[in-house]
Structures are given as structure tokens and as C-alpha cells.
Structure 1
Amino acid sequence: MTSFSFPLISDRLSLRPPRPTDRDFFVALYGDEDVMRFIPPHNAPLGEEEAAQRLWVLMDHWRDFGYGMFVVSWKETDEPLGYCGLRYLSEVDAIELGAILGKKSWGQGVGPEAGRMCIAFARDQLKADRIVSLTDPENARSGHVLTAFGFSRRPELDGEYHGMPHLFFEMALQHDTPSA
């Protein structure tokens, strides 16, 4: 398994793998009704134990695949804002881009900035040929962001995910080819 250097850094953000000390943050994030409105399987807040379990699932993905969801923080303060990253989606044999961001980050361009960083990581470090993303049909903002990134809607692949309807988006990743 290839090893990568973290955190990923932009002018404003720091992205790093999750760790056990993030438990309280994840419990608060997953416990927020507004944040969880479009998140399956319940589209509702999670209790403390289920939220903590989701953190362990994210950490296990890193162990199993060598990549995963990143905790997104302000670079200057290391204050966690949510998470954004990549995970293997076995149902379609592809890497999925996903994010859950807390309300403190809403309206500040954090989602698009973190998303671009994750897309670049998938393309440049993982050498992925494509990535996909699923979104709740009622989450228009997410669909607009994905389209702005260059994702295309694939309505023929829409369907249920964790028992909830989802729209399917896909993006081919362009790799630099060496000059002859």
C-alpha cells in the first residue's frame, strides 16, 4: 500500500485523516439535525454511540484502503469543521467523493475548497481514473457544487442508497501524459 504525506494544506484549510481524539467533534457533528438532514440512512441526527461508530468506520477505511475521509479544519486554528474525502464504493466499484460539514463552515466556500483538494488527491496521488458522488435529490446545493467541479449526472444510475433515493454523479479524471 502506498504511503502519502498528510495533512493536505490550502491557503485556508488543513485536511488530515481522522483519529480517536475526534470523537467529541463527530458526536456533535452527527448530532446536529440541520447537518444530518440529507445524510442516510435516517436523514436525522445520530446518537452518541452511533456517531462514535461512524468515526471508527472512517478510520477503518483508512486502515483498509490507505485513503479515506479527511477531517477538514481551519489551517490557522486546527478547529474541525467537518469532513470531506474519498471512500471505496463497492456497489459501483469506484471511489466516491463525499462530505459532511458543520454549520460553522456553511456559506464560506469550505465545501468546494475541500472538495477540490480531494479531487486533486484522487487524481494525482491515487491515480484514479474516475470518481463518483451520490446526493439526496432534495439537496440541490450539493448537486450544483458537483456540477461546478465537472461531475456529470448519470440518471440511469440513480437509485437507493441505504434505503434512501440518491442521484448519481460521475467525473472522469484527466492525468497529465508525459511528453514524447
Structure 2
Amino acid sequence: MPEIETARLRLRHFTPEDFDVLYRLYSDAEVMKYLSPRTREQTQASLDKHIQHWQENNYGMWAVIRKDSGKMIGRCGLGLLENTSEIELGYVFDKSYWRMGLGTEASVATLKYGFLEVKLNRIVAIAHPQNLASVGVIEKIGMKYEKNARFYNSDVVYYTVARQEWHPDDSLYILQT
């Protein structure tokens, strides 16, 4: 299964051994403020889903690893947007790694993978309007606001980017298969 290396990160597939770190992220009220904290059972279901999604598709969520420390610091990748056939960019990062550009770095690599490898025509992203950091990442990677919408029982802002409108940058992107 494919993995990606960027300047500071390695995006790899989840394994069952990632449960403890994922649960620490998913149960942190501050990290999950705009999503919803998850129980141990919900985290296990999410982890199983992340693993299974890659087995059934050629894309999914990656565990995001800091290359310098080898620590898992979050997740980033592609999934199906609730009740649609659209492919959504999503990410969650440990709060001690916020405001370092790591979400942007992982998201840029994810878009490259989606457009160059999976050959997707369009990728969407949603965020709570109050989540200015997430909206900032989405805009920084070149996605454009399209509308206000409602997904996952929340009012959100909805962004898109089409492959023909997307402009890849020259940041480090090494695909390993």
C-alpha cells in the first residue's frame, strides 16, 4: 500500500497498534472541539474503518508521522463525505503540533495523491465556520469556498478544488509503493 514522504512527515497506513495514540487524539476535547470526542469503542470503529477503507479503495486516511521523532501526530487523508459520493479531505492533529504548517503539509501531499495517483476529478473539504485554523489550511492549499452546507449534523463551510483548477507546488512528495 502506498505511503508518502514529505519534508517533515511520513504518511503511512494505520495499523491496529495505532489505537492508543488515535484514542488520545479522538478523546481530547480541545482537539475534537469541532468534530466530537470519541469513546474507546468509537475510536476502535474508526481505526477499523481507516484500515478497511484502504483495502477496498486506493485511498483513505493516513497516520501522520513526524520524521524527526517517529511519533504519530495525527491523521490526514481522503474519505467519503457523509451521504454523498464526493471525496473529502480530512485531518486531525495533536494540539502540540498546531500552528507549525504540518496540517498544510500533509493536506498538500494528500491532494497530490488524490489527483496524481487516484486520478480524482474533484476533492471537497468542510469545516465549522468558527474553526479558523482549519478554514485557513483549506484555503492555503488552494480550495475555494463554494457554499454553506450541513454535514455530520453541523453547519459547515464547503470548499472544493477540481483537478483542472489545482496547481501542484514543488514541495517534497515521495510516493512509496
Q: TM-score range by the shorter chain?
A: 0.7 to 0.9
Code of the aligned partner of 1:22: D
What is the aligned counterpart of 2:134 among 134, 138, 142? 142
Residue 173 of structure 2 aligns with which residue? none
C-alpha change, 1:90 and 1:163, in structure 2 (3 Å) is closer
Larger RCO (alpha carbons 8 Å, 6+ apart): 2
Matched, 1:163 2:162: no
SS of match in other structure, 2:150: strand
1:6-21 alignment runs, 5 A limit:
6=3, 8-21=4-17
% identity of equivalent residues: 29
1:92-112 CA distances to partner (integer Å, 9 max, x unpaired)? 422111101111211111100
SS of match in other structure, 1:35: coil
- TM-score, normalised to structure 2, is 0.87
**In the aligned structure 1, how far is the partner of 2:67 from the partner of 2:161?**
28
- Given that residues 62 and 76 in structure 2 are in contact (C-alpha distance below 8 angstroms), is that contact kept between their aligned partners in structure 1? yes
- TM-score, normalised to structure 1, is 0.86
SS of match in other structure, 1:91: coil
Residue 173 of structure 1 aligns with which residue? 163
What is the aligned counterpart of 1:154 among 129, 133, 146? 146
Matched, 1:81 2:81: no
1:79-158 alignment runs, 5 A limit:
79-89=71-81, 91-155=83-147, 158=148
1:110-158 CA distances to partner (integer Å, 9 max, x unpaired)? 1000000001101110111110001112112211221121111111xx3
Runs of at least 4 residues of structure 1 off by over 3 A? none
- Given that residues 82 and 151 in structure 2 are in contact (C-alpha distance below 8 angstroms), is that contact kept between their aligned partners in structure 1? no
**In the aligned structure 2, how far is the partner of 1:152 from the partner of 1:88?**
19
**In the aligned structure 1, how far is the partner of 2:2 from the partner of 2:29?**
34
What is the aligned counterpart of 2:21 among 18, 21, 25? 25
Structure ID, larger Rg? 1
After TM superposition, the structure 1 stretch with the greater mean CA deviation from structure 2, 60-69 or 107-116, is: 60-69
**In the aligned structure 2, how far is the partner of 1:66 from the partner of 1:86?**
10
Aligned-residue Cα RMSD (Å) equals 1.7
SS of match in other structure, 1:108: coil
Code of the aligned partner of 1:93: S
**In the aligned structure 2, how far is the partner of 1:90 from the partner of 1:25?**
25
* Unpaired segments ≥5 residues, structure 1: none
Code of the aligned partner of 1:66: N
Shift of 1:90: 6.0
SS of match in other structure, 2:126: strand
Instruction: Tell me the number of residue pairs that the alignment of Structure 1 and Structure 2 aligns.
Output: 166
